[in-house]
Structure 1
């Protein structure tokens, strides 16, 4: 069963064209065949008119019209004579008849002269039929050539007529998941407008539900932050109290849970703040990507030092992009926190900020275990922590990064690093460049010791 509307239209119209062409061809063939027979009868009549006042001896062929027609003029005399075929022809009445002559059926025209002598003009019916079929077949050639042309034209007309629907589907596929702007009704066929109106109504309801969900998440996270902060402070105060070993272990577990809950709330608030700012890319402020990266790296240097991880820049160039500095910082911080969480002690995390093919590139490369290939398609989904979760992650970091990068008109890609004696993960973020600051790039990994006061040096 054909489910495609285009296929149904094409099959239906093709069937109509073929059926109409077959019926038309049949009538055209029969009409052309009859006309060819009548034309050959008129030729016999004309030849008989020429022979009306002249006499010929015996039966002789006439080739005056066409060499292959095999028209014969037969003198029958005033009384039956000659062969049995001639005597049989003599018995026929004047006019067009079908008879047998020389053991073959012929179409014969008999006439009587004023002196009483008779003659016949004969032509084999096989040749007449062959000529008529040839003429009729040539009549069908234009119809046979027209049918494929009609099928091609039908396919083009259907494709052109359904192009607005295909374009509409392409526009919907190219949209971001959170883009709920109504579809345009202008320049759309009237048949599609009710369908588009229904889609716009559905988008409006989905936008309302998403706004309610965002407000709920933001409000819940904001309301929970204060009591969680208070509980965290109380748990921190218990660290200075002399407690039995078993109690200290429980307090440590409590502090770890509080810290994770606080981190989750901060991620939810960051996600809510980002989704509550629907401004377009052109309306976003300019920000120096390299400065934001250095500030975030400087904040994370103490944590990297505690974990024994070498954190620093492999390449940094001054680049300006459009976006809130806080959102850019959220991208960099989430990528670096993931790298710190999975990189083992003694490992290395390299950050790169540079230009490539007209795009600003932010690259974070670590020496951790990478991401399982089965998890690659799901790592950007909210609350997904992979098949080997580790540390205090909430599963929101990469989801937040993906949403922010998409809103800034960029792309993010993750790839595992595989080599002899090494592994790791490379995260590459591409953002449109908004400006060209006039300052020379600084290349090479910056010293972790001599330049510790400079932001971004490990």
Structure 2
């Protein structure tokens, strides 16, 4: 059995995210502390080394007239410590006067009377720090170079002691910061409690927007997304309820008629009566099927704006093909059906299936109202930046006062004598709206019939 994945904890995730930077900060602070400690240790020891060179100079001056150091000076300079101090007193004319280590002559030679000069050297394979100064010899033409050197061990040892003493304190501070972050996040997450309570107390059908007054600013993008989702759900529920109401409204009459004709056939079993009832059943069932199809098409058109598969559609080709398909129906109804316009090149942006559905309903409506020996014309005009698709018939038309209401669900002009559901033009209007097209109604040619026009934006070529 597959185990469910462990839920993600925001507190644990934040702590995990912070642990790595904090650990790197701790290591980085250790490096920085060591570098700073070594820097100041070097300053302190360099100062001590320069003072040692000056002290040796003063001791030599107190023994002036001697070619070598007195025993007291040697004892003082050669005193052994954890890290020994090496010295060398050298005459440029007479050579080494006294030393406990063969220190090199500094290059260049320090100026007589100048402050001690500090250098880093390597002697006998060991890195040393050396302080050198020069004083005048006895005859005035000679110079005595005084050099004092020491290893770097004590400096690094002092830096390590500072590091070892400081790192635990830094680590403790980082641990304290993480604990404070943990409790801070825990307390901060309590700001979401009103939002959780608000959602928990909602009823199942309450899809109104959330109260944003108690929502933190950082969470508002999430709640605004939830509000947008609730709005879409509310719209879908409204469409669903409208579809159910439309279906009940539209199918109630055909179903009642079917039941009435069935009872009629059962009550009067004569062949003529049964045949007449079956004719009515066939007509009613065809009407119910047509109404169901139009209801589904209207539902798709109402919810299709977010599901349009956008592509470039050639309206000229679409119109020509549909007119060719409907010619047999027109001939059977003794209606002259034709197409006027370009053969191709009328490109618009949209969904080919939905645009075809709009054209089907326009032609169906025109064929229904054109009447016997009438005419229906599908025309297409390519203007500068628009493409105009029009379907007109030679039927009785619609009074101008009702033109603004054409496209409403179930609306049929009072003077209409034909059977219909009142959904065809509603489907056309919804599809046009989803494609950004304008829908207009007017008189047909010679002031007869009805002309339905769709104006699309042309695709730039």
| TM-score after normalising by structure 2 | 0.44
Greater RCO, 1 or 2 (C-alpha within 8 Å, sep 6+): 1
Bigger-Rg structure (1/2): 2
